[in-house]
Amino acid sequence: MASTSAPPSTRQRLISSTSDLLRRKGLHGFGVSDVLAAAEAPKGVLYHHFPGGKVELAIAAIEAAVSQILRSLEAIEASGGDVLLALRAWLDQAHHRLAKSGYEMGCPLAAVALESTAEDRELRAALNTGFDAIRAHLARLLVQAGMSRAKAPRFAALVVSAYEGALLQARIAGDAKPADETVDLLLEMVRINLAQPRANRPSPRRGGAEEG
């Protein structure tokens, strides 16, 4: 008999619903009642799991998004394959999801970052922790690909910053072109800064062909 996965818990549904709402409407575009409706959960249950209400929910959604990204990066690291091609596939997946949603669902981390203020210390602390972890893991992957330990953290920061901006532009334009072009340029910049000579390393561009 085939095994079936257990249905998501109420807490998981609340976090998932919050993440979806952040992607679609931004931090200030929805309220607790919208989360409850999307998760099909009673109000008392929400405050049982998240006494801090919307802020605590948003932090949980940030942490869940970061965990998902880190799992993807860990899978790339463990695969032992070509890091740049794997990064290409991972980055492409993000804007393919954006296109599939009709350019409606952005990045939940960016949504909170753009709309938070200096008073939102807990939210910004969660974002800082998350981005630090993502940059650190990306830097390890770049070292694995052959980049020097001195350069890797700076290029990891560049990848995160440029790609978040590219997704934002793609969402506004309703067109994947800004994200596609950014990924092409980012990975080309990474490739030419690896220790291995350019001529000996395959291109991470779509189709793997060198530019003429």
From residue 20, give the alpha-carbon distance in Å to each of 1, 25, 30, 84, 212. 33, 8, 11, 29, 42
CATH 1.10.3720.10 at 62-208, yes or no: no
Reported for 204-208, long-range contacts at CB under 8 A and 24+ positions apart, including other chains, are 204/84, 204/85, 204/87, 204/88, 206/88, 208/85
Task: Specify the DSSP class assigned to residue 118.
Answer: T
- Which parts of the chain fold into alpha helices (H)? 10-25, 32-39, 43-49, 53-79, 83-100, 108-115, 121-145, 152-173, 177-192
- Residues 145-194 have pLDDT tens digits of 999 999 999 999 999 999 899 999 999 999 999 999 999 999 999 999 98
C-alpha span between 166 and 144 (Å, rounded): 25
Please report, as a single letter, which amino acid is at residue 172: I
C-alpha span between 136 and 38 (Å, rounded): 34
**Stated pTM of the model:** 0.85
C-alpha span between 71 and 53 (Å, rounded): 27
What is the C-alpha radius of gyration for the chain, rounded to an integer number of angstroms? 19
Tell me the domain boundaries of the chain.
62-208
Q: Single out the residue of 200, 199, 194 nearest to residue 84, CA to CA.
A: 194
15 neighbors 64 (Cβ within 8 angstroms): yes
pLDDT score for 199: 46
> Each residue's pLDDT tens digit in the chain (212 positions)?
444 566 789 999 999 999 999 999 999 999 999 999 999 998 889 999 999 999 999 999 999 999 999 999 999 889 888 888 888 888 888 888 999 999 999 899 999 999 999 999 999 999 999 999 999 999 999 999 999 999 999 999 999 999 899 999 999 999 999 999 999 999 999 999 987 544 444 555 555 433 33
